[in-house]
Amino acid sequence: MKIFLGDKLVDEKDAVVSVFDHGLLYGDGVFEGIRAYNRRVFLLDEHIDRLYDSARAIALNIPMSKAEMVQAVVDTCKANEIVDGYIRLVVTRGKGSLGLNPFLCDKAEVIIIAAAIQLYPQELYDNGLRIVTVGTIRNHPEAINPRIKSLNYLNNVLAKIEAINAGCMECLMLNHKGEVAEASGDNVFAIKNGVITTPPSTCGALEGLTRNKVIELARKAGYEVREATMARYDLYVADEVFLTGTAAEIISVVDIDKRVIGIGKPGEITGKLAELYHQCANSEGTPIL
């Protein structure tokens, strides 16, 4: 496998970073998870824009232009002959001292890995997910804003541990006010009487690109979509609930905290949205040339 590291492609065995890298020492950095479908990188410009916004929010200077970053992602996919794959783009603060001061680090480190995608088992899409609300609340926006896709994912990891301990693959996270935020690695949507609702990112969610695409496709298909503050109640009484994310795409939730959602099976509107999303993902995107 070829990895993009710093400013060039190297062999996997040579793709090593310093133990003094602040990405490792402090989780100081930002990242993106991107999908390629059918020899095209889906939503590449949107991912690059979010990466640079995350970097700006943590005062991290990425030593490449956006256009160079787009090219680096495409080149990494090309070098690994990616048709359908998953791309992990990481920018760390770089090598520094053992102190916290990020401004003593030399230069941000850029890492791009393009690999085969590990899909969730089909059974989960056919039958839907069971999830639980976890005790770990989503980061307070004035501590680490969840809109920053940072390397500091312990908040989400702690939530995921609770989910797995409860026998679930995903979970529901609330914000510091007890409002619905998102899942540990996915956004959440509810459908009630044909109206689709998702929390605004100001409620403590990453502004997911899958989420944004689903909102766009649903509105184009004639559905009313609202971004509104939600309580767990709104999910419990919904006709359909689903999660969105680059890796999971669109997946139904059929049970939350032992409340059966709707008829306890993946819903009709969720299915339609998943179909529209797949059509879009398989036909749009930046060609790997």
Residues engaged in binding ligand PXG (CB under 6 A): 33, 156, 182, 185-187, 206, 208-211, 244-247
> What minimum distance in Å lies between the beta carbon of 111 and ligand PXG?
14
Beta bridge partners of 132: 171
Identify which of 78, 47, 87, 42 has the alpha carbon closest to the alpha carbon of residue 284: 42
| Nearest residue to 191 (alpha-carbon basis) of 233, 150, 243, 241 | 241
- Closest distance to ligand PXG from the beta carbon of 46 (Å): 8
CB nearer ligand PXG, residue 50 or residue 93: 50
For the chain, give me the number of helices (H) and strands (E)? 8, 16
DSSP 238-252: -SEEEEEETTTEEEE
Residue 180 phi, psi dihedral angles, 5° rounding: -65, 130
CB atoms within 10 A of CB 193: 7
Beta carbon nearer to ligand PXG, 82 or 90: 90
If the CB atoms of residues 54 and 244 are measured against ligand PXG, the closer one turns out to be 244
Single-letter amino acid, residue 200: P
- Residue 58: closest CA among 92, 99, 24, 32: 92
Between helices 44-57 and 66-79, what is the axis angle to 10°? 130
Residue nearer to ligand PXG on the CB measure, 187 or 252: 187
- The active-site residue, picked from 149, 177, 192, 220, is 149
Question: CA-CA distance, 85 to 40, in Å (whole number)?
Answer: 10
- 258 is known as an active-site residue: no
Judge contact between 182 and 138, C-beta under 8 A: yes
The minimum distance between CB 115 and ligand PXG, in angstroms, equals 13
Minimum separation from the CB atom of position 110 to ligand PXG (A): 18
Our CB check for ligand PXG shows the closer of 18 and 212 to be 212
CB of 169 to ligand PXG, least distance (A): 10
Task: Tell me the catalytic residues.
Answer: 149
